[in-house]
């Protein structure tokens, strides 16, 4: 094992984030397996070289179309194939979405993320989606959407509407993917990511841990993300929220230290990306979240709800930020 004196910013041959930089499973695994103190020290050094360590970006989520999804993602409350008890809703109206977005902006969010439980958007919904992007942008916030698979034309139209980010997670390793989702493939995910990237929209792409995957799968997921033609600008790391009625309802929770290792590794492998401590914060102690921020997480979802599940809420987050001396990040800023 490497000792703390060896723990420099990056052990790979090419500079991290450089165009020629390729991660191998072995190099990534070696960092992942460092003694914990060496790992988070290296992550913190990397973090400080690229960001203000005391600023965290705030994003707000809204489910603009909930439930009834034809896909079979084993973790998801919104799949029509699982008996989660969630009823399906229609696509929200633009004015309702803009009213919610205004509230989020006034509460300090700088990015507004709108999610729909679709396999992919239908043509009949595109005009509404585009009006939502234009309206949220006019409020002065960054816009993000997650609508399932996109073809090239759809990605281009969303770009023209002013969409800043598209969220599309690879969720786990290529190898473990078929254990979690059977209605689409890992390659389908990569195709949409390429369509989004080619359109000029920034990528928000990460995954979930705590789905019964092997630690090797967690590292492999980060290797895929870091080796994309360009790493995603945002990397959400979700801790599984077990949902009753889904196949993963009784999954063994991930060891908090193993979770922090993932955050640290994501920070080291994608030094200039925002690493988002995403789903699962209600099940984390303040101390665990503090360790995640120390390991390089610098973005969170704020508000009482994510898409369908609970989130800590504004009061808990402001109290935690006060205790840690963390300030919200300005828009586009560090
Ligand atoms: N339907 C779209 C799609 O799958 O691309 C967008 C919405 S989907 C709910 C967005 C992401 O939320 C998923 O890719 C997954 O990573 C995360 N997610 C969903 N349910 C979750 C859960 N129960 N726990 C943790 N993360 C979850
Ligand atoms: C992401 O990676 N996490 C967010 C966002 N992208 C869309 C979603 C979390 C969903 C958690 C479960 C729920 O609220 O239903
Ligand atoms: Fe549908 Fe997305 Fe949930 Fe999968 S994760 S079931 S695609 S809403």
Diameter over CA atoms, the chain: 59
Q: What is the mean pLDDT of residues 133-150?
A: 96
**Residue 79: CB within 6 Å of ligand 2?**
no
Query: Is 16 noted as a catalytic residue in this protein?
Result: no
Beta-bridge partners for 310: 305
pLDDT band at 124 (very low <50, low <70, confident <90, very high): very high
14 CA from centroid of ligand 2 (Å): 33
167 CA from centroid of ligand 2 (Å): 10
**Residue 86: CB within 6 Å of ligand 1?**
no
Q: How far apart are CA 152 and CA 173, in angstroms?
A: 25
3-class state of residue 310 by DSSP: strand
**Residue 84: CB within 6 Å of ligand 1?**
no
The helix (H) or strand (E) run that includes residue 143 is: strand 142-146
pTM: predicted TM-score of the whole model, two decimal places: 0.94
Would you state the torsion angle of the CA atoms of residues 209, 324, 49, 10, taken in this order, to the nearest 10 degrees?
-40
Q: How far apart are CA 294 and CA 290, in angstroms?
A: 6
For ligand 1, atom 5, which residue shows the shortest CA distance? 148
Q: How far apart are CA 233 and CA 223, in angstroms?
A: 15
CB atoms within 10 A of CB 34: 24
Query: Is 292 noted as a catalytic residue in this protein?
Result: no
As given in the structure block, the two tokens for residue 209 are 């841990």
In tens, the pLDDT along 197-242 reads 999 999 999 999 999 999 999 999 999 999 999 999 999 999 999 9
Predicted local confidence at residue 21, as pLDDT: 76
Q: What is the mean pLDDT of residues 79-86?
A: 92
pLDDT band at 1 (very low <50, low <70, confident <90, very high): very low
**Residue 78: CB within 6 Å of ligand 3?**
yes
71 CA from centroid of ligand 2 (Å): 15
In tens, the pLDDT along 293-319 reads 999 999 999 999 999 999 999 899 999
Beta-bridge partners for 302: 60
3-class state of residue 171 by DSSP: strand
Mean pLDDT of the chain: 93
pLDDT band at 333 (very low <50, low <70, confident <90, very high): low
Would you state the torsion angle of the CA atoms of residues 264, 269, 272, 275, taken in this order, to the nearest 10 degrees?
-40
In tens, the pLDDT along 37-69 reads 999 999 999 999 999 999 999 999 999 999 999
Q: How far apart are CA 299 and CA 9, in angstroms?
A: 21
Q: In this prediction, what percent of the chain has a pLDDT beyond 70?
A: 93
């Amino acid at each position: 094992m490497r000792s703390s004196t060896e723990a420099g910013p990056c052990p790979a041959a090419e500079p991290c984030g450089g165009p020629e930089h390729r991660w191998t499973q072995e190099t990534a695994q070696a960092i992942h397996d460092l003694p914990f103190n060496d790992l988070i020290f290296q992550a913190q050094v990397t973090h400080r070289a690229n960001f203000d360590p005391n600023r965290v970006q705030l994003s707000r989520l809204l489910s603009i179309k909930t439930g009834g999804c034809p896909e079979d993602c084993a973790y998801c409350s919104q799949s029509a194939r699982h008996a989660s008890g969630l009823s399906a809703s229609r696509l929200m109206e633009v004015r309702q979405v803009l009213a919610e977005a205004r509230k989020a902006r006034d509460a300090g969010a700088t990015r507004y993320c709108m999610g729909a439980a679709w396999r992919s958007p239908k043509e009949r919904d595109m005009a509404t989606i585009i009006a939502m992007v234009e309206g949220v942008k006019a409020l002065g916030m960054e816009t993000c959407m997650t609508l399932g698979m996109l073809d090239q034309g759809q990605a281009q139209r969303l770009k023209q509407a002013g969409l800043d980010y598209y969220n599309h997670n690879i969720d786990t390793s290529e190898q473990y993917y078929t254990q979690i989702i059977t209605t689409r493939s890992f390659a389908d995910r990569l195709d949409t990511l390429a369509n989004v990237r080619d359109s000029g929209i920034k990528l928000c792409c990460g995954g979930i841990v705590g789905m019964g995957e092997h630690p090797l799968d967690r590292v492999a997921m980060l290797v895929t993300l870091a080796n994309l033609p360009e790493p995603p600008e945002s990397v959400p790391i979700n801790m599984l929220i077990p949902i009753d009625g889904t196949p993963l309802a009784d999954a063994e929770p991930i060891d908090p230290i193993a979770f922090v290792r993932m955050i640290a590794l994501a920070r080291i492998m994608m030094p200039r990306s925002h690493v988002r401590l995403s789903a699962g914060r209600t099940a984390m102690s303040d101390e665990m979240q503090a360790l995640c921020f120390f390991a390089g997480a610098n973005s969170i979802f704020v508000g009482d709800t994510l898409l369908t599940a609970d989130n800590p809420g504004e009061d808990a987050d402001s109290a935690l930020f006060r205790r840690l001396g963390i300030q919200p990040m300005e828009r586009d800023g560090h």
